[in-house]
Structure 1
Amino acid sequence: MDGMRPFVCLHVLGGEVGAVLLEEGKVRDRLRVPSDALPSLEAFVSGRPVVAHSWDLVRGIEDRRTRMGRFGAWRGPVWEVEALARTVRWWAGDYGLGALGVRKDDVLSAAEGLASVFSELLDELSSKEPKVLERMAYVAHGTELEEVFLEALRRSAGFPSRIGGRKLEPPKALSPREPPEEVPEEAVEEVLGEGGVCSQRLSGYEHRPQQVLMAKAVCRAFNKGEVILAEAGTGTGKSLAYLVPAVLWCAANDDRTVVSTHTKNLQDQLFFKDIPFLRDALGVPFRAALVKGRGNYLCRRRWERLFRDGLSELSRQERRLLLHLVLWAHETETGDIEEHAGFPRGELWGKLCSEAGSCLGNGCPFYEVCFVTSARRRALGSHIVVVNHSLVFSDLAAEHSVLGDYRNVIFDEAHTLEKVASQHLGRELSPWRLRSAISKLYERGEAESGMLALLGAELKATDVPGRSAILGKIEELIVLCGEVREAGERFFGELAERLPDPGPYGAKVRIRDGRFFEEVLEHLERLLCGLRSLYEGLNVLGGWLEEEKEWRAEIEGARDAVGELAEDLKFTTEVGREDFVYWAELPPGRKEVKLCSAPLDVAPFLEEFYGKMRTVVMTSATLAVGGDFGYMIERLGLGGSQAGRVRTLRVGSPFDYESQVLVCVPTFLPSPKEEGYEEAVEEVLRTLTLEVRRGTLALFTSHRMLRDVHGSLREELGDEGVLLLGQGLDGPRSFLAKRFREEVGSVLLGTDSFWEGVDVPGEALEVLVIVRLPFSVPTEPLVEAKCERLRKEGRDPFWEYSLPEAVIKFRQGFGRLIRHRKDRGVVVVLDGRAVRSKYGRTFLDSLPVGFRKVRSLEELVHLVRGWFEEGPDERRRAKALWAQAVGT
């Protein structure tokens, strides 16, 4: 680090401080002292810059100094290694000490390790192009890291700059063959069958007859232009079962297929694992693209404009966050913000991402290097286009602005399709959405910011014809922004006061007609009037700036956003459509209300969509109830005009569930509605955890109960060395899942989102506890409305809606346990209704394996322990003997 002034690397661990002094790239001195030995530490640092993993460490030292009455300067600027790593290694995802290669068991070794990482990061920075480093130093101006970027710039070599972006050559356009050429089903078997391409090219590949059966059915759907509903058990390999025929058919016909998933994990698996394998193995040339919604992509024009305007609209915190984006924005080839694992989305990204309303289209100076344009071109020129369900429906609403026209679609995780369609066809309005829209127009914080403030400042420095009139209109709109913001706060605030306290779990209140808003009608009318005036004013302003293309695009985008707010407010408060459900939603612990609406039935919309498709493939591990597809066919709109071309297929799992899974249903617990049930659940979880010591996932249907159980067990399990994790209590979902996988033997309590889409193979998950049968809350507005509609039609809502929905979710929950052929484990269903009620057997019969009734906690522990101690053959024999003895 020749040329850089001396600095000190600090770390704190277990009551000790470790410090290393570096000068000219070499360690000159070391210090190890108790963390309360502040005079020694201060003398060692002696006003020099401090390198630490994060500000929190330094803040802890400074808090201790304050408590001890020690004031005055003792250090120079703090250079955070974590912040620097997020900026330089934007792709890494994990910036903890371990991920950075720093030893965590010794405080002095950690300090030396941080010094080494800091040196590496500075070297990496110094290898970047000078113009990028200049931009980074500009963003860091006035912050403690500015000196680091200036040093990197001083040391950097001269590289040619490409700040403006690279023009990406569009892929060759597809020309679908008419009439299509059929692909022989034997071609699919040659790839997936015994001794086929996959078995030759994929290490550890196992031939699965179920996979071949499904692949042939999908191939037939492509050849005949059919709709197929295919349930494929876990382990079938369903992704290759639909990708192989899709690739072969699309390559033969120069056509394309949109493959849609619900979860990012599956999306990534398809694009980064399965498709590259097929590209290498099939010997068939085909192109594939991964496409996201417009809001995922950086807008180059807005990015460059931000710098052109001197970052004037950014707060200090936003400038710190912007620093993490500079190198990524220069190096990314896709502009997809999800590449940047260390950047938290928020208001800053809203100022930088692509938006339809403010897009200049082919009139944009960055059109040829535009990330959205590039994504659309890739989508149009690719045989396989991987997306998620949300993009399919948002793109339909935007008239195929991203994906373009297509006629073949595959929906994986199709059991979620109705829910996602409902979310996209509904409307909602919240105070934070209103605030965000107004803040983009005008905000007075540390300084004036927002589009109107920037436009006004720019006009004052130029001599545009009609400048005074335009500035007058801007002032008028700024006043209107304040009035709309105030009206919104009054309306939503008064509305929230009239609703029940949401408590720690949130609340939803059904809105049956417009009289719900009578007491806040004055505030509602003021807000609507203000939004309409703001819309008209922005429309006039955009017309006056017709020659200023960029400003006009921004103004029209803001105008459309305001217009959409007004439309959504009107729609959600008029409560005028009988085919929609309306409700007010209060988030946990907050007196802020969100107005929501959703269609009662999405089947007509989906049916219209299928009518435009030549081939539709829908697949999931859970589509049938009791072996019958009738429920899903009705919910997904496949029973009307499409019924004649719908085919169904159900293939089981290749797993040997008899030897891999034990299902136990305790009969000694109270009913979930009886007193003492929660305490009994706590006792079962406590005893199973401490006696069996296996990775355990407990699935709850109630946030309240999860929180109570977590509170009761946390200290006791912690004292026994067992990590207890609770959803909503110990971090976000992704963090909990990662920690659960890493900490073998831990216990995770999860609610709704852990019932599906979570893959935890091996020893990390060996005991699955289903606390209650997963019936939806009957007072949930959508559930209540659907049940009311079925009653009006003379149908039984429990048997025709509530039970099928719960069975599908129950099967999804069961599917968390066995993900691979070598997995094994125990499922414990703590809801006695599974064996005591008339409908209970519907749940248990939906499983691929039998169950055992358990009459005491001691018997349960004995069974579970024995299960893990036995080998697979012994387990299979024992279950067969048990079945003969009790007839289950």
Structure 2
Amino acid sequence: MKEKVTYAVVDIETTGGNAATGDRMIQFGCALIEEGKIVQQYAIDINPLVSIPKQIEHLTGISNQTVANAPYFEDVAPMIYNLLEGCIFVAHNIQFDYKFLSEELVRCGLPPLNSIGMDTVELAQILLPTEPSFRLNDLATRFGFLHDNPHQADSDAYVTAELFLLLKQKLKKLPLVTVEKLVELAEHCTMQTNLFFKETLSDMLTMRQLLSDDLLVKEGLAIRKKTVTYEQRTHRETEHYPVGIEAKEQLFQKKLTTRKLQIQMMDEVYRYFSEKDSEHFVIEAATGIGKTLGYLIPLAYVATPQEPVIISTYTTLLQKQLLEKDSIQLNTILPFAVQAAILKSKHHYIHLAKFQEVLKDPIEHQMDAILKMRTLTWLTETVTGDLDELNLTNYLQPFWNKIRHRGWMDNAQEDLFYEQDFYLHAQEKVKQASIIITNHAFLCHDLQREEPVLPNVQKIIIDEAHHLADVATTASSEVFSYYRNQQLMKLIGKRADDKSFLSRLSALAEKSNSIQLTQINMIEMSVVAFEEELAAFFDKLISYCRSELPERQQMSDQLDVQFSKTENWTLDLKKKTKILLALMEDIVFLGYEITRQALIHREQFTHRERHLIDDFFELIGTVESQKGIFQKIFRESEQNEVTWFSFKQKSPKNSFVIKRSRIDSSEFLRTKLAEQTTSILYTGATLELNGDFSYFEKQLGEKKLRKMVIPSPYDYQKQARLWIPKELKPLKQLTKKQYAEMIVEHLETVIQHSNENMMVLFNANETLQDVFSLLQQHPAFTGRELLAQGLSGSRDRILKRFFHSTGGILLGADSFWEGVDLPGKSLRIIVVTRLPFESPDRPFTKAKYKWLESQQLSPFKMDTLPKATVRLKQGLGRLVRSEKDKGVMIVLDDRLIKTNYGQQMLASLPHDLVKEVVAKEELQRNLSLFLEED
């Protein structure tokens, strides 16, 4: 009979993170698990005999008053020790709870903990591979665990116990072959977390279960089966687009609310693509219209696998939303099924054959084992093999680069997983799709390719179209950096380094006559010489750049210098440029020669060795690409191009990048997209300015678009306010420090009479960081959740935490001006710290302005003002997301009311939006009154 095991799932709350420096426990919680059930709970407050910091009080809800009459830890330590003795200790991030508790027990004269320990964070990372967050609160929300008091030990311990049981069940459902591999890798997990896998495997071996019908095992890997669905065209031909309200209501039934403005958009989109109008079409559809279904429903009646429609949107996140949310909703409404597919580059997909080989590699560190285990679990779930499903925060981990798909040098059918290959499966799905979903970056890169990946389609929808010109410019950018090339050379490496390509190729050379050791020796010498010359070149280039900058700019952390000609360079710099090019040429020639010889005798090598050769071939291709960029950079820029150097003072060489970019993409988009495509529909929420689309047309190289504006369904007069504080000082009169202090002063004014969530929008990350630092030190903001872009985690995680906050303050720049959906009370106040003009000091902006002037155009009127106006409109668009939302935008820049261009910006905002200058006291009083009104 199997011995009964008791799991003690523990959570503690403390005054800080280090018991050794005087932090103390303020709460202990424990839930006991036996035979798959929570059988007992235990929780107690503890008087720490030290003051509880305000931030801990805010986080936990535990105050000095709460624990004033609670026992001291010395009083309860023996009971806690006895409770845990003989149990398996389980915690969410065990290394904190276990260590802190053990140190406290020793302080009280008891033995340290010697329990077996398991970590639910690690288990969740492995067994819930696609979760975007592994914070306990987020997992509790995701799985519907009742969590009344987050960050209190009793509630956290109970929820952790529920999570532990869920993970146990999840593991039992995995295929035996997967669990066996997990057990092998689990030896590298934290403490004794490996026993969790061993125990489950033991149970599974006594009660063997059949492999699920939707899984297959190939070469020792359990993979989910996948199929390509083919559309039933004959069924579709009997259906016709529903003309008129009644026909649409019959189609929608209760699955979609009939909205007049959305129907207006549907009819126009259907008419446009049916008539095959020679003009291209732009529709500005305000937030709240239901724009996506506004074009998807009519598309369903005109798109077929033989004549598909391409939809391009701004980000891969929006791309995913179109496929996984919007197209699924579309198919619940339609009387027939429409196939949609995402088109991405091969690098987004896992290469199964490479992963299988990487599994055999020795474990170098704990994270390596966790990532392998996580991927094994994921393969039993995914039907796409798209690495984006894993919600990775760090794609630069060497592990992901090893298993990423790179294609094949020659015969793909030699791949052991050819029939299960995810990239080939994605391509097949695209061939059978009526709607092909891509993103602007992929589209713009594809327009530049000699052999495009996208099919030659004559119907295209550009969603979030205001981004297309900037993305096209970014797609044209070429970057040569010191760090990037150092890393490339490190990968090629030296024969003495076991992990380098040259070392592993040397082993192949000794095995086969197809690779010559002399060539490997020659490439090694070129790599060593290149590394030395590259370091010397960048040292001299940094000195040159500093000498070119005015003295006032030399003190900045970020230095940017526009490059014009090499004529001003020293003879030594010019000489080193030629030497670097010659060395790169040698490396590329020798590298391709090695792979060419290996390819001829490919049958002599194992699959693993062939992957090595494939990867080396791609690496040499990257070096060749960098060589081409280096060559282009130092020729004189054409009128519509700019080259600049950029680096940080703190790490000048490692941060040094040389960039070359197209200044204006209108000609490129006109010749490559507009003139090559019969029907293009551009759509978005912020495309016109005061009813004029000319700025938008110029950006895209379009001359005469058919135009339509669908107004907002929201009542801005009732739902929103725009306020400019009366006491504002002109920004030009403020120093950098005074400016940050001014922002904090106004934020303090706002929070004194409001506990609403507030987003503060910046133009510069430097100011954002200064304000964040001041807020953390300011007593008025103690207890508020402060979140800052670049300082508080990834964008998605920041937004998720902010959404669940009360009185949270989020500081954001760049992408936070748009694409943020925080409806209802999750966002009711936006503070704009400065009108969103581009910095004129950036080399790219300077070059763009100079180019516009050469066209006899005003940079401010033609570019700066329109772009800032669009961004201000986007910022306001974050505030009102439904008919019930209410919100206030506060602008801390008096130029909005004191300049002609400020008045133009105001005029572009909704006409019924109330725009007022308010005094400090009036702002405080009106804020509460307005937001509390029904």
Letter of the 2:516 counterpart: I
| Structure 2 match to 1:652 | 711
My pick for the range that moved more, 812-821 or 844-853, is 844-853
Q: State the alpha-carbon separation in 1 of the partners of residues 365 and 777 from structure 2.
A: 42
* SS of 2:301 mapped into structure 1: helix
Which runs of structure 2 are paired with 1:144-223 in the superposition (5 Å)?
A: 144=190, 145-156=193-204, 157-160=208-211, 162-164=217-219, 165=223, 168-172=226-230, 187=242, 189-190=244-245, 195=249, 197-198=251-252, 200-202=253-255, 205-209=257-261, 211-213=263-265, 215-217=267-269, 219-223=271-275
**Which of the residues 171, 174, 182 maps onto 1:125?**
171
Distance 1:270 1:578, change over 3 A: same
| Structure 1 match to 2:685 | 621
Residues 694 and 765, structure 1, Cα contact 8 Å, conserved in 2:
yes
CA offsets, 1:11-32, max 9 Å, x none?
Answer: 3223155567878768999998
Which runs of structure 2 are paired with 1:353-432 in the superposition (5 Å)?
A: 353-356=404-407, 360-398=411-449, 402-432=453-483
Q: State the alpha-carbon separation in 2 of the partners of residues 741 and 386 from structure 1.
A: 29
| Structure 1 match to 2:131 | 92
Identity rate of aligned residues, in percent?
A: 25
Give TM-score scaled by structure 2 length: 0.82
| Structure 2 match to 1:54 | 93
Residues 292 and 391, structure 1, Cα contact 8 Å, conserved in 2:
yes
* SS of 2:562 mapped into structure 1: strand
Distance 1:795 1:63, change over 3 A: farther
Q: State the alpha-carbon separation in 2 of the partners of residues 11 and 456 from structure 1.
A: 53
Q: State the alpha-carbon separation in 1 of the partners of residues 726 and 269 from structure 2.
A: 43
1:246 aligns with 2:313: no
Distance 1:695 1:113, change over 3 A: closer
Which runs of structure 2 are paired with 1:668-683 in the superposition (5 Å)?
A: 668-675=727-734, 678-683=740-745
| Structure 2 match to 1:528 | 581
| Structure 2 match to 1:137 | 183
| Structure 2 match to 1:783 | 845
1:857 aligns with 2:920: yes
**Which of the residues 539, 563, 574 maps onto 1:511?**
563
Residues 297 and 371, structure 1, Cα contact 8 Å, conserved in 2:
yes
Q: State the alpha-carbon separation in 2 of the partners of residues 52 and 182 from structure 1.
A: 59
* SS of 1:201 mapped into structure 2: coil
CA offsets, 1:166-205, max 9 Å, x none?
Answer: 67444549999xxxx9998x73645896x4533x2335x2
Letter of the 1:311 counterpart: D
Which runs of structure 2 are paired with 1:586-735 in the superposition (5 Å)?
A: 586=647, 590-591=651-652, 592-608=655-671, 609-639=673-703, 643=704, 646-675=705-734, 678-716=740-778, 721-735=783-797
| Structure 2 match to 1:337 | 387
The alpha carbon displacement at 1:323 in A equals: 2.3
Distance 1:712 1:96, change over 3 A: closer
Q: State the alpha-carbon separation in 2 of the partners of residues 502 and 71 from structure 1.
A: 60
Residues 309 and 460, structure 2, Cα contact 8 Å, conserved in 1:
yes
Distance 1:494 1:220, change over 3 A: same
The alpha carbon displacement at 1:410 in A equals: 0.8
Letter of the 2:661 counterpart: A
Letter of the 1:318 counterpart: D
Q: State the alpha-carbon separation in 2 of the partners of residues 149 and 87 from structure 1.
A: 11
**Which of the residues 795, 807, 814 maps onto 2:857?**
795
Which runs of structure 2 are paired with 1:577-592 in the superposition (5 Å)?
A: 577-586=638-647, 590-591=651-652, 592=655
| Structure 2 match to 1:868 | 931
Aligned residues between the structures: 851
Letter of the 2:931 counterpart: F
CA offsets, 1:754-778, max 9 Å, x none?
Answer: 1111111111211222222111111
CA offsets, 1:136-156, max 9 Å, x none?
Answer: 233334545444333333222
Gaps of at least 5 residues in structure 2 are 15-24, 49-72, 547-552, 603-609
Residues 559 and 646, structure 2, Cα contact 8 Å, conserved in 1:
yes
In angstroms, what is the RMSD of aligned CA positions?
3.9
Residues 363 and 369, structure 2, Cα contact 8 Å, conserved in 1:
no
The alpha carbon displacement at 1:414 in A equals: 0.6
The alpha carbon displacement at 1:653 in A equals: 0.9
Distance 1:319 1:55, change over 3 A: same
The alpha carbon displacement at 1:524 in A equals: 4.2
* SS of 2:896 mapped into structure 1: helix
Q: State the alpha-carbon separation in 1 of the partners of residues 82 and 522 from structure 2.
A: 58
Which runs of structure 2 are paired with 1:534-573 in the superposition (5 Å)?
A: 534-546=587-599, 547-548=601-602, 550-573=611-634
* SS of 1:136 mapped into structure 2: helix
Q: State the alpha-carbon separation in 1 of the partners of residues 276 and 544 from structure 2.
A: 57
Distance 1:618 1:49, change over 3 A: same
My pick for the range that moved more, 154-163 or 512-521, is 512-521
Residues 2 and 24, structure 1, Cα contact 8 Å, conserved in 2:
no
**Which of the residues 385, 401, 426 maps onto 1:350?**
401
Q: State the alpha-carbon separation in 1 of the partners of residues 232 and 273 from structure 2.
A: 21
Residues 359 and 553, structure 1, Cα contact 8 Å, conserved in 2:
no
The alpha carbon displacement at 1:661 in A equals: 1.5
Distance 1:96 1:379, change over 3 A: same
Q: State the alpha-carbon separation in 1 of the partners of residues 461 and 634 from structure 2.
A: 37
Q: State the alpha-carbon separation in 2 of the partners of residues 292 and 154 from structure 1.
A: 41
My pick for the range that moved more, 237-246 or 13-22, is 13-22
* SS of 2:732 mapped into structure 1: coil
Letter of the 2:353 counterpart: R
Q: State the alpha-carbon separation in 2 of the partners of residues 183 and 778 from structure 1.
A: 55
The alpha carbon displacement at 1:331 in A equals: 3.0
Q: State the alpha-carbon separation in 2 of the partners of residues 40 and 587 from structure 1.
A: 56
Q: State the alpha-carbon separation in 1 of the partners of residues 726 and 35 from structure 2.
A: 72
Letter of the 2:847 counterpart: A
Letter of the 2:621 counterpart: D
1:464 aligns with 2:512: yes
Q: State the alpha-carbon separation in 1 of the partners of residues 891 and 400 from structure 2.
A: 44
CA offsets, 1:219-241, max 9 Å, x none?
Answer: 32452244112111111221122
The alpha carbon displacement at 1:561 in A equals: 1.4
Distance 1:271 1:32, change over 3 A: closer
Residues 315 and 439, structure 2, Cα contact 8 Å, conserved in 1:
yes
Q: State the alpha-carbon separation in 1 of the partners of residues 345 and 706 from structure 2.
A: 31
Distance 1:168 1:129, change over 3 A: closer
* SS of 1:138 mapped into structure 2: helix
Distance 1:56 1:344, change over 3 A: farther
CA offsets, 1:655-702, max 9 Å, x none?
Answer: 111211122233431122123655443322211221233222222222
The alpha carbon displacement at 1:60 in A equals: 4.8
Gaps of at least 5 residues in structure 1 are 872-888
Residues 188 and 245, structure 1, Cα contact 8 Å, conserved in 2:
no
Q: State the alpha-carbon separation in 2 of the partners of residues 71 and 566 from structure 1.
A: 65
Letter of the 1:540 counterpart: E
Letter of the 2:312 counterpart: S
| Structure 1 match to 2:326 | 274
Residues 188 and 369, structure 2, Cα contact 8 Å, conserved in 1:
no
Letter of the 1:272 counterpart: E
The alpha carbon displacement at 1:626 in A equals: 2.5
Distance 1:236 1:112, change over 3 A: closer
Residues 92 and 342, structure 1, Cα contact 8 Å, conserved in 2:
no
Distance 1:277 1:588, change over 3 A: farther
